Amino acid sequence: MNDMTTPVRRRGRPPKRFDDQFDTRQALVRCGMAVLTEKGFSATGIDSVLRQVGVPKGSFYHYFDSKEAFGREVIAAYADYFARKIDAALDDTSRPPLARLQAFVDDAAAGMARFDFRRGCLIGNLGQEMASLPEAYRAQLEAVFADWERRVARCLAAAQAAGEIGAGVDCARMAAFFWTGWEGAVLRAKLVRAATPLHLFADEFIKALRA
């Protein structure tokens, strides 16, 4: 029916509208990425995600069987998002390989600063919570780290081919070391609310590669 009367204005923020089911599902996942990156899994209630997205609780269980299933999808989405960020830096052939690694560090530091160092790495956050998380997450989180390690190893192999680091450097081992140290640096950066730990780790890591 075409009602020509003036609609009643309601106070408060109008409800968000989504064009289709895909948009709603993606909005929930994107919000989950942001919230879990800042607060972690255990401290995040589904209700807080729903309030931020502006959809009813029934919508959540239409798309996800449980909070565990939601978490698995958020992990996958974050892994894909962050892999693209890694590749944007490490596949930039306009720079020498080690400068690409430095560019990744600088971009990550700027990203943390943008949120006043409240957000870190979602994968690292969940790894620290593993004792209270579904056991199925363990393999998924480890697979993400393994994927990131392979991307850094390729960059280090390119640095080796370019003569920036020695032929005896074990690129796969050093890539694993990078992510182990990087996650600790991210945690410390959140603690001190400064990028200093990120740059300290990166400087020493690159120095060790060149030694």
* 16 lies in some domain: no
The CATH code of the domain that includes 167 is 1.10.357.10
Asked, for residue 43, whether it belongs to a domain, the answer is no
Query: Which H or E run includes 61?
Result: helix 57-63
pLDDT band at 17 (very low <50, low <70, confident <90, very high): very low
Given a contact cutoff of 8 angstroms between Cβ atoms, the answer to whether 137 and 125 are in contact is: no
* Alpha-carbon 202 to chain mean position: 18
* Residue 156 within a domain: yes
Per-residue pLDDT at 22: 55
Closest CA to 32 of 57, 2, 53, 10: 53
In a domain, 94, yes or no: yes
Distance CA 205, CA 209 (A): 6
| Count of structural domains within the chain | 1
Q: Tell me what percent of the residues of the chain surpass a pLDDT of 70.
A: 90
Residue-level pLDDT at 21: 53
Tell me whether residue 23 is in a domain: no
Give every CB contact of residue 50 below 8 A, 6+ residues apart in sequence: 28, 56, 57, 59, 60
pLDDT tens track for 140-195: 999 999 999 999 999 999 999 999 999 999 999 999 999 999 999 999 999 999 99
Domain enclosing residue 115, as ranges: 74-210
Indicate whether 15 belongs to any domain. no
Which of 15-24, 26-35, 133-142 has the weakest average pLDDT?
Answer: 15-24
Tell me what pLDDT residue 16 has.
47
User: Does residue 171 sit within a domain?
Assistant: yes
Q: pTM for this structure?
A: 0.84
The predicted structure's pLDDT at residue 43 = 79
Res 118 pLDDT > 60 = yes
Is 198 part of any domain? yes
